[in-house]
Structure 1
Amino acid sequence: MMIFDRQKQSLLLDGRKYTSKDVSSLIKRGEKEFPHAIWELLLFLKEWFDDSPTLVVHTSGSTGVPKELLVSKDRMMQSARLTCEHLNLQSGDTALLCMNLRYIGAMMVVVRSLVAGLNLIVRPASGHPLADVKGPLRFAAMVPLQVYNTLQKEEERKRLEQIDILIIGGGAIDNSLAAEIKNLSGAVYSTYGMTETLSHIALRRLNGKLASERYYPFDSVKLSLSQENTLVIEAPLVCNDTLYTNDIACIYSDGSFTILGRKDNVINSGGIKIQAEEVEKKLHSLISEPFVITSVPDSRLGQAVTLLTMQPSNVEELENRIKSVIPLYYCPKYIYIVEQIPQTENGKIDRKACRDLAKKILLSQDVEKC
Structure 2
Amino acid sequence: MTPEYNKVHNRFKLNNHHYNFNDLMEVAYSFVKEGEPFERALGNFLLDWLDNNDFLITQTSGSTGSPKKLKIKKQHMVNSAIMTGDFFGLEPGNTVLSCLPSNFIAGKMMIIRAIILGMELDLIRPSAFPLIDYEKKYDFCAMTPMQLKNFLKYSDNLKIIIVGGSKVPQSLIDDMQHVKANVYETFGMTETITHIAVKKLNNFKDGDISNAHFKVLPDIKISQDKRGCLVIDAPKLSDDIIVTNDIIKLHDDRSFEWMGRYDNVINSGGVKLHPERIESKLRSRIEEQFFIASEDDDTLGSRLILVLESDANTLDESVFEGLGKYEVPKKIYTLNKFILTKSGKIHRKKTLALL
Partner of 2:263: 264
Partner of 2:190: 195
Alignment check: 8 A CA contact 1:269 1:303 kept: yes
The change in CA–CA distance for 1:335 and 1:147 in structure 2 (over 3 A counts) is same
- Aligned-pair distance for 1:166? 0.3
Q: 1:211-237 deviations in whole A, cap 9, x for unaligned?
A: 553011123111111111111110111
The change in CA–CA distance for 1:254 and 1:65 in structure 2 (over 3 A counts) is closer
Structure with a larger share of its residues in helix:
1
Residue correspondence of structure 1 range 290-369 to structure 2 within 5 A: 290-310=289-309, 315=314, 318=316, 320-357=317-354, 360=355
Q: 1:144-184 deviations in whole A, cap 9, x for unaligned?
A: 12112324xxxxx22x2220010011110111011112222
Q: 1:110-159 deviations in whole A, cap 9, x for unaligned?
A: 110011011111112211123565512111101112112324xxxxx22x
What TM-score does the superposition give when structure 1 sets the normalisation length? 0.87
Alignment check: 8 A CA contact 1:100 1:106 kept: yes
The change in CA–CA distance for 1:69 and 1:268 in structure 2 (over 3 A counts) is same
**Secondary structure of residue in 1 paired with 2:43:** helix
Partner of 1:43: 44
Q: How many residues align?
A: 350
- Letter of the aligned partner of 1:266 in structure 2? V
Alignment check: 8 A CA contact 1:322 1:331 kept: no
Range moving further from structure 2, 325-334 or 67-76: 325-334
Is 1:238–2:242 an aligned residue pair?
no
Is 1:104–2:105 an aligned residue pair?
yes
Which whole-Å CA distance do the structure 2 matches of 1:235 and 1:353 have between them?
32
Q: Which runs of 5+ in 1 are unaligned?
A: 152-156, 361-370
**Secondary structure of residue in 2 paired with 1:329:** coil
Q: Match for 2:159 among 154, 161, 164?
A: 164
Identity %, equivalent residues:
34
Partner of 1:217: 216
Q: Which runs of 5+ in 2 are unaligned?
A: none
The change in CA–CA distance for 1:292 and 1:52 in structure 2 (over 3 A counts) is same
**Secondary structure of residue in 1 paired with 2:183:** strand
Alignment check: 8 A CA contact 1:171 1:349 kept: no
The change in CA–CA distance for 1:23 and 1:285 in structure 2 (over 3 A counts) is closer
**Secondary structure of residue in 1 paired with 2:204:** coil
- Letter of the aligned partner of 2:341 in structure 1? T
- Aligned-pair distance for 1:264? 1.4
Partner of 2:288: 289
RMSD over equivalenced CA pairs, Å: 2.4
Which whole-Å CA distance do the structure 2 matches of 1:333 and 1:115 have between them?
52
Partner of 1:363: none
Alignment check: 8 A CA contact 1:204 1:215 kept: yes
Partner of 1:138: 139
Which whole-Å CA distance do the structure 2 matches of 1:16 and 1:30 have between them?
15
Is 1:175–2:200 an aligned residue pair?
no
**Secondary structure of residue in 2 paired with 1:138:** strand
The change in CA–CA distance for 1:244 and 1:121 in structure 2 (over 3 A counts) is same
- Aligned-pair distance for 1:27? 4.8
Q: 1:12-53 deviations in whole A, cap 9, x for unaligned?
A: 112211233223334555745223222221221111111100
**Secondary structure of residue in 2 paired with 1:204:** strand
Which whole-Å CA distance do the structure 2 matches of 1:231 and 1:96 have between them?
31
Partner of 1:186: 181
Which whole-Å CA distance do the structure 1 matches of 2:32 and 2:247 have between them?
44
Which whole-Å CA distance do the structure 1 matches of 2:3 and 2:18 have between them?
14
- Letter of the aligned partner of 2:294 in structure 1? S
Which whole-Å CA distance do the structure 2 matches of 1:143 and 1:29 have between them?
28
